[in-house]
Amino acid sequence: MQHALPLAHPTWGREDHHDEQGHRPIGRIGRRSGVYRWPADSAMAATDFISYGPSFCTNAVRSNTRWPAHPAFSHACDYQIRLSWGKYTRMGTSLPTLRRATERDHDVIIGLIDEAADWLRTKKTDQWTEPWPSEEDRRHRIMRDLQAGKTWIAWDGNSPVATLTADSQHSHQEDPVWPHATRQDKAVYVCRLVVSRGQAGQGLGAELLDWAGLNGMQAHGADWVRVDVWTTNEALHAYYIRQGFQFYGYSEKADDYPSAALFQKPTDRIQVTNRALFQVESEPDY
């Protein structure tokens, strides 16, 4: 199966990987697993690690850049670099495992969406009160992305705890939501990001966004990670701004499309650190 965006290899085989005592790994366990084994006298002895992010991180700050102000804010918002995305996560721990979803997972994704919709009904928003534009169309879109290999699910044992769909191509190519001037940009488009209520508030959604953006940057030079957000859900707009996203503006399709608030984040503002909230089962290549 061909996938639109081959994501980066795990960061094995690089000379810049060391443990706290300066040791390098003595080898990978499995050609594509990205798992390291460290020397016996190492601070990480007897422990296997998987790297699910690129080996580089950036502290670049465009302090002279001013972003368009979102209506919910009275000032332009500079990006805040998040310092909580893990570089390594130990295999065999209780961390959720991110796996590519298959057609068999269609109802799993619907279940996560329905759980989120039930919670949203307790908030001041009309988001997902009904499937848009219809339940049949929603099921078709989900299945299309599953068949294309664009959707991932994070599993905590046998329980799904999060999902996202990501692609290097605009997810509405037939009727684009992002304006024409942006369509030549190298970007990763994320949609259908859902985190279960049991994992809410722990930063898992933000970590998944960073994971998609960083891998897109390493794989094909993506400059942006982009999302289109429910137009009337101002609390969700504020969430994305807190995660370092820029409010780009409203789509020209706002009259006909309910997620017309456009947000983007520069991929070179994402920084990898030593805290991890999930592990990736295999080499991502969506």
Residue burial 48-61, b: 16+ Cβ < 10 Å; e: rest: bbbbbbbbebeeee
Q: Is residue 245 part of a domain?
A: yes
**Identity of the amino acid at 127:** Q
Q: Is residue 17 part of a domain?
A: no
Which residues make Cβ contacts (< 8 Å) with residue 211, sequence separation at least 6?
A: 52, 53, 85, 98, 278, 280
Look at residue 93 in the predicted model and tell me its pLDDT: 57
Reply yes or no: is the peptide bond before residue 133 cis, omega within 30 of 0: yes
pTM over 0.85: no
Going by their DSSP bridges, the two strands 88-90 and 85-86 should be labelled as unpaired
Contact between residue 112 and residue 118 where contact means Cβ atoms under 8 Å apart: no
Look at residue 132 in the predicted model and tell me its pLDDT: 94
Q: Which domain holds residue 154?
A: 67-280
Q: Is residue 43 part of a domain?
A: no
Q: Is residue 8 part of a domain?
A: no
Closest CA to 250 of 240, 263, 266: 263
Q: How many domains does the chain have?
A: 1
Q: Is residue 187 part of a domain?
A: yes
Contact between residue 163 and residue 153 where contact means Cβ atoms under 8 Å apart: yes
| pLDDT tens profile 55-77 | 223 333 333 333 445 544 333 33
Look at residue 73 in the predicted model and tell me its pLDDT: 38
Which residues make Cβ contacts (< 8 Å) with residue 122, sequence separation at least 6?
A: none
pLDDT along the chain (286 residues), means of 10: 36 37 37 33 32 31 39 35 36 80 98 97 94 96 96 97 92 75 93 96 95 92 97 97 97 93 97 85 61
DSSP β-bridge partners for residue 151: 165
Q: Is residue 137 part of a domain?
A: yes
Contact between residue 63 and residue 83 where contact means Cβ atoms under 8 Å apart: no
Look at residue 230 in the predicted model and tell me its pLDDT: 98
**Identity of the amino acid at 34:** G
The CATH code of the domain that includes 159 is: 3.40.630.30
Look at residue 281 in the predicted model and tell me its pLDDT: 86
**Calpha distance 166→204 (Å, rounded):** 16
Q: Is residue 37 part of a domain?
A: no
Output the six-digit token pair for 199.
């994992």
Contact between residue 225 and residue 212 where contact means Cβ atoms under 8 Å apart: yes
Look at residue 74 in the predicted model and tell me its pLDDT: 33
